[in-house]
Amino acid sequence: MVLLMELPKLVNYGMGVIFCYIIAALLFLLPATMATLQLCRIYANGHPTSVFCWVGQALGWRWGLLAQFLQWTYAALRLPSVLLFGVIAVAYAASWIEPMKWVCENKMSVIIIVLIIYWAAVLISMRGLETVTKAIKISAIVGLVVPTILLAGLVVVYFTTSVELIPERAALTNYELVTVSLQSVIFFMGIEFSSTLSPATKGYRKSLLPSGLIVLLIFCIVSFALAGVLAVDTVASPSALFTGFYTYLGYAHIPMLMPLVSIAVVGGVFAVVLSWSNAPSLGIYQAAKRGYLPPFLQKCNKRGVHTNVLLVQAGVVTFTCILFVIVPSVHFLFSLIVALAIGLYLMMYLLIFASSVATNRTTLSWVIALTGGGTTMGALVWSLRAVDGVSPLMWYLFVVIALVVLTVAPLVIYSLRKPSWRNHLSNLSMWRDGSW
């Protein structure tokens, strides 16, 4: 799922960042998509599937549970930052309405807005996968496709009629080219989410590569637009996205559309929240049904929705959101949680590439695995680097401890599993075709 909130982080690299996106797409997105296609073709057989199913059947169920837990942890830890970006969008919309300017001016209102967005997604999730997929499609169109098309049109108008010069930025050095490309890898993660939410039919598999190209195109359009109008010393924060939008709308003499654009972006945030809430939790539910997690997580409602898994995830996300808002000095905590989430998710991709090779030991599989795996390792090292303003010793101490705990935890749970956890449905020998 596309995260527009990440793009302003690289705006000060100018147009050169587009070349870095292309490198990241070739070295990571393309191999990840090819590996996903291969695993879907072998293990899904037209059914919704998950990384638990893929890695479990390719490398063993112990590693399948680990891969699924890594994906689920990433979603649970990253959702708060996505929700806070939604608060920024709400704040921009509210700033245009005099009686609503108080919104987002205090911590309590921020918490309320965050929880409203998230729990609305949870309630929709409780209504079933069909409702969720429809809501994701509508929200993605409103919050991603429409704003991108609008921005592309405004960019064309601006650069064909304006006499303003594009802000000059220094060319990327060789070191920056490598590091920005590795950082861009993070933007392309998540291609496998849709296979859990949609039947992995032949038509679905054919749509994966075009979907990746659309994601790359959106990143290029938005980054080009932001680099074209934002000042060289712009603070690389998510709010820069709205600053760029406002600049183009102001030039076109339609700044009054800014509240509508902001609300539309909230729709995009909602699509991400729905996707991240459901895809990993469905995989956790699969693991529970097979007997690798306690029976508590096997409970469904009358619509067949994995309610207890969703509620456990909701508790983690709600607690983390409140923690972000009430902690006085949040920089270290926020940076640590985001770095850990990204690091754990990249480790999951290493398992996916390993599964691709284990499943089909062809030359193409090895090329995909080595290219994608090598790029993933580079991005993993880069994502766990110490952030500015934090003692490197303290940073790496926390990172190492947290990574060990979060990686070992699912392996310990697997080792301590009990025969009574095994659901009767998991006795069916139907796992190679992806059935639950």
The CATH T-level fold of domain 4-415 is Amino acid/polyamine transporter I (1.20.1740)
Residue 234: pLDDT band (50, 70, 90) is low
- Average pLDDT over every residue of 166-190: 84
Q: What is the pLDDT of residues 242-257, one digit of tens each?
A: 888 888 898 888 988 8
Residue 28: pLDDT band (50, 70, 90) is very high
Q: Which residue has the higher pLDDT, 167 or 357?
A: 357
417 has a pLDDT exceeding 70: yes
Q: What is the pLDDT of residues 35-61, one digit of tens each?
A: 988 888 887 665 667 899 899 999 999
340 has a pLDDT exceeding 50: yes
| Average predicted confidence (pLDDT) for the chain | 84
Domain ranges of the chain: 4-415
- Average pLDDT over every residue of 57-80: 93
Q: What percentage of the chain has pLDDT greater than the value 70?
A: 87
Weakest mean pLDDT among 61-70, 107-116, 245-254: 107-116
Highest mean pLDDT among 121-125, 215-219, 236-240: 121-125
- Average pLDDT over every residue of 191-201: 75
Q: Which residue has the higher pLDDT, 173 or 28?
A: 28
Q: Which residue has the higher pLDDT, 97 or 427?
A: 97
90 has a pLDDT exceeding 90: no
Q: What is the pLDDT of residue 302?
A: 86
- Average pLDDT over every residue of 218-239: 78
**Three-state DSSP string of the chain:** CCCHHHHHHHHHHCCHHHHHHHHHHHHHHHHHHHHHHHHHHHHCCCCCCCHHHHHHHHHCHHHHHHHHHHHHHHHHHHHHHHHHHHHHHHHHHHCCCHHHCCCCCCHHHHHHHHHHHHHHHHHHHCCCHHHHHHHHHHHHHHHHHHHHHHHHHHHHHHHHHCCCCCCCCCCCCHHHHHHHHHHHHHHHCCCCHHHHHCCCCHHHHHHHHHHHHHHHHHHHHHHHHHHHHCCCCCCCCCCHHHHHHHHHHHHCCCHHHHHHHHHHHHHHHHHHHHHHHHHHHHHHHHHHHCCCCCHHHHCCCCCCCCHHHHHHHHHHHHHHHHHHHHCCCCHHHHHHHHHHHHHHHHHHHHHHHHHHHHHCCCHHHHHHHHHHHHHHHHHHHHHCCCCCCCCHHHHHHHHHHHHHHHHHHHHHHHHCCCHHHCCHHHHCCCHHHCCC
